[in-house]
Amino acid sequence: MLYIVFFIIALASMIILLYFNVNIIMSFLITFIILMVMNYIVGYIISKKRRKALDSDCDPERYLKMLDNHGKRHNNKPIIVSYLAVNRAAGHMLLGDYQTAKEYLEGIDHSYLSEKNGSLLAYTINLILCYYELGEIEKAEILYETSLVRLCPFGSRLKKCWRA
């Protein structure tokens, strides 16, 4: 549906610009910029609605449905699939379904998660919580002692002092 709206807007902007005798290359460039800005705005709005469903509304079922819709569009991109799996696990944890959350988390390819954007930290914290809730305390403690300590978001100076 969104692609059709973008296509109509692109077509309309090209026709309007060409009607006013704007150079065809400039028309393509302006149309491209308009579409990129619109794509950014739409992505921001959708992301904000998803966050609102989880944060302020605390409606994990709606959040999971939104993630499913997002996943249908980006199912062939492994990095997005990994991020969505971390988010799905968080939704299932809020529902109290820790076993399903653990299965999502254990099925993630770690190479797509990053320390820089916090996805690896969120993954690790969620997996530790799942292990604790499911009674796998030893696994949780091992993961805490090995991974979480390394991933904590300290400043670079503090990390250097801490290693010394």
CA 129 to each of CA 98, 99, 121: distance values in angstroms, whole numbers, following the listed order = 8, 11, 12
Taking only the tens of pLDDT, the chain with its 164 residues reads: 677 988 999 999 999 999 999 999 999 999 999 999 999 999 899 889 888 887 888 888 999 999 888 888 777 788 888 999 999 999 999 999 999 999 999 999 888 998 888 888 899 999 999 999 999 999 999 998 888 767 766 555 555 545 54
> Which pLDDT score, from 0 to 100, does residue 160 have?
54
Walk me through the domains of the chain, giving residue ranges and CATH numbers.
1-57 (no CATH), 59-164 (1.25.40)
What residue type is assigned to position 49 of the chain?
K
> Which pLDDT score, from 0 to 100, does residue 123 have?
92
Query: Which tokens sit at 128?
Result: 């530790």
> Which pLDDT score, from 0 to 100, does residue 150 have?
74
- Which residue is it, tokens 């403690």? 141
> Which pLDDT score, from 0 to 100, does residue 156 have?
54
> Which pLDDT score, from 0 to 100, does residue 153 have?
62
> Which pLDDT score, from 0 to 100, does residue 110 have?
83
CA 96 to each of CA 20, 45, 87, 91, 129: distance values in angstroms, whole numbers, following the listed order = 59, 28, 14, 9, 11
